[in-house]
Structure 1
Amino acid sequence: MSTDSLAEPLNHVSTRRLGSLRLRLTLAVPLLTAAIVAVFEWSLGNYESPAEGLARTAWLVLLLSAAQLILIEALLLRPLRRLAAGCEAMESAPVPLTPEAAVPTPGLAAELDRIGHAMLRARGSLWQQDQAARELRRELAQQRHLLQEAHSALEANQRELASLARIDALTGIANQRAFDEALRREFKRAQRLRGLLALAVLDLDQFKQFNLTHGTAVGDMALQRVASLLNERFKRDTDVVARLGGEEFVALLPGFGMAEAQGVLESLRDELRALRLPDGQGSLTLSVGLAAASPAHPYLSAQALLQAADEALYIAKHAGRDRLSLAA
């Protein structure tokens, strides 16, 4: 059977299919348009009578259907017809009998080459984009890791700064801010549990003169020795020793009454007298004001307890120094 005899049925099939498609579109488009226009027009309710509405709807359906069919013919059916004609032409072409006859025409070969080159360029572009995306993901992962490290370092610095904000830089013990927080906390706990709380304010006697005699460097080392002595003497987990500033220190002793705290502080004064100073010369003495809160002797506030200890220290200073005075 020849190729021409095969192409003829194919031509008829393609023509019948296009004709069938055109017929279905010609029937379906007006029906669908009529339904849409009817629903839209009747929803607006612009007509006084059904006859007027039907006439107006019919005209709209006719115009819209004609416009749609023209567009479908121009945009869909004509390209399909050309495509079918091209396929029919390719199908009706004679079958090559020799390898030389199988070589495509120069125009088709050039078109195939262009398509092949375009596909290669597209594949190369996709590969480059994939590599760029992978590189970007690696950079993002590195940046995320660096950001996490910076965040961890920042948190560590913040913790260190918070710790430094509560520690006296010279002596390494708590500063006044940390002491104020501990005093409020322990005072509330003693009130809630009806417990004991002793507070001692300690001041080195004539320390300004000591600095003038021995120098500020020796004076700083003496303050460090005193702070170390306080840490050694008051080393319970609940004890708090702090430097309020200059040569003034404070000791907060939860669970101690007046008698227990007085005994410990007298021993501390004796140890301070025996303390070996940095240059081996001179000596230091300590004046102490002591107040203690208890259920039998309560204070209205933590500030009132601190004020009572300050007043006792004032009495010890004016009574000749180097002594311990008890709050009334």
Structure 2
Amino acid sequence: MSTETLAEPLSRAGPRRLGSLRLRLMLGVPLLSGLVVAVFEWSLGGFESLREGLARTGLLVLLLSAAQLLFVEALLLRPLRRLAAGCEAMESAPMPLTPAADLPASGLAAELDRIGHAMRRARGSLWQQDQDARELRRELAQQRHLLEQARSALDANQRELASLARTDALTGIANPRVFDEALRREFKRAQRQRGLLALAVLDLDQFKQFNLAHGSVVGDRALQRVAALLNERFKRDTDVVARLGGEEFVVLLPGFGMAEAQGVLELLRDELRALRLPDGQGSLTLSVGLAAASPAHPYLSAQALMQAADEALYIAKHAGRDRLSLAA
């Protein structure tokens, strides 16, 4: 069945419905008006007044009905008729057989196309912005990771620098700076508490010839073995073992007098002679200068105690080496 066949009953239904409505109004309005006028006349004078003014009542009903019909025609039926004509025109229009996209765009369709295109462009822009934001987040995460790595490396370097600032790079024991701080601290404590403090300066005999004979690599290993031996023998919390430089070491022994420190250092010299050096090459001996501060033998300063130990070491060296000399 074609679209035109379907539209014909629809186009005929509109005028028929309007004609039926007009007929009902032409019958109903006069009846209603007559009833209203009759009730009004009856309320004024009863049935006698109604019979006497019948002609007048009929004229009044006609005028009132005509006015109401004109009013309804103007306000209701004419708009309905125009609406029915519009519906009839729409229903009788042929249905398009091609898709709407193939037809020439009307003003509304063109506007809708522009809106759709703008929305697609906005979606594309939002998608691109989302991709850019994701890429930026990835780059920020990568930069944050690199920053964390750099911070960790910096912390490690700072710890290493702090360690290097307080330890000897070759042997791992304390360096001269740490020893000087400990000497000043322990000397003041010994003075305040009238306690004992022993200081020994140790020097490996003829170490330059040892290096020439065996090489600097073996010499460095020998120094490391000596430092390890010192750490093993002097491991109290208050003991301080340091390398002053080259083949010279120093030991600070709080609470030790001259006799106690001398006994420990003589054992150390014996252990050094028996020490197995790297690859079994060569042997080393040790010269020691020892000084001790006590209430019976005080020193004016920590530097004076250190100088006394140095002078004792000088005497041990010139007395033939491989010996311990006591400060006067």
Deviations 1:166-203 (A, max 9, x none): 33333332232332333334334444554432211001
Q: Residues 139, 259 of structure 1: CA spacing in aligned structure 2 closer, same or farther, 3 A cutoff?
A: same
**Equivalent residue for 2:302?**
302
Deviations 1:60-97 (A, max 9, x none): xxxxxxxxxxxxxxxxxxxxxxxxxxxxxxxxx98963
**Equivalent residue for 1:117?**
117
Q: Which runs of 5+ in 2 are unaligned?
A: 1-81, 95-99
Q: Residues 105, 278 of structure 1: CA spacing in aligned structure 2 closer, same or farther, 3 A cutoff?
A: closer
Q: Distance in 2 between matches of 1:178 and 1:252?
A: 11
Pair 1:137 & 2:137 matched? yes
Deviations 1:86-137 (A, max 9, x none): xxxxxxx989634769x99812321222122112211221222123112212
CA drift of 1:271 comes to 1.7
Q: Residues 107, 167 of structure 1: CA spacing in aligned structure 2 closer, same or farther, 3 A cutoff?
A: same
CA drift of 1:152 comes to 0.7
Q: Distance in 2 between matches of 1:265 and 1:310?
A: 16
AA in 1 matched with 2:286? L
Moved more, 211-220 or 234-243: 211-220
**Equivalent residue for 1:56?**
none
Q: Residues 167, 140 of structure 1: CA spacing in aligned structure 2 closer, same or farther, 3 A cutoff?
A: same
Deviations 1:6-47 (A, max 9, x none): xxxxxxxxxxxxxxxxxxxxxxxxxxxxxxxxxxxxxxxxxx
**Equivalent residue for 2:233?**
233
Q: Distance in 2 between matches of 1:309 and 1:94?
A: 125
Where do 1:20-59 residues align within 5 Å? none
**RMSD of the alignment, in Å?**
3.2
- Using structure 1 for the length normalisation, give the TM-score: 0.62
Pair 1:289 & 2:289 matched? yes
Q: Distance in 1 between matches of 2:105 and 2:228?
A: 102
Q: Residues 280, 131 of structure 1: CA spacing in aligned structure 2 closer, same or farther, 3 A cutoff?
A: closer
CA drift of 1:246 comes to 1.8
Q: Which runs of 5+ in 1 are unaligned?
A: 1-92
SS at match of 1:242: strand
**Equivalent residue for 2:316?**
316
Q: Distance in 2 between matches of 1:94 and 1:129?
A: 50
AA in 2 matched with 1:203? D
SS at match of 1:203: strand
Q: Distance in 2 between matches of 1:105 and 1:207?
A: 104
Q: Distance in 1 between matches of 2:274 and 2:320?
A: 20
**Equivalent residue for 1:162?**
162
SS at match of 1:125: helix
**Equivalent residue for 1:183?**
183
AA in 2 matched with 1:162? A
Q: Distance in 2 between matches of 1:192 and 1:123?
A: 83
Q: How many residues align?
A: 236
Q: Distance in 2 between matches of 1:105 and 1:230?
A: 100
SS at match of 1:253: strand
Report the identity percentage: 87
Moved more, 219-228 or 264-273: 219-228
Q: Residues 153, 264 of structure 1: CA spacing in aligned structure 2 closer, same or farther, 3 A cutoff?
A: same
CA drift of 1:141 comes to 1.9
**Equivalent residue for 1:265?**
265
Q: Distance in 2 between matches of 1:139 and 1:279?
A: 54
CA drift of 1:242 comes to 1.8
Q: Residues 303, 145 of structure 1: CA spacing in aligned structure 2 closer, same or farther, 3 A cutoff?
A: same
Max Rg structure? 2
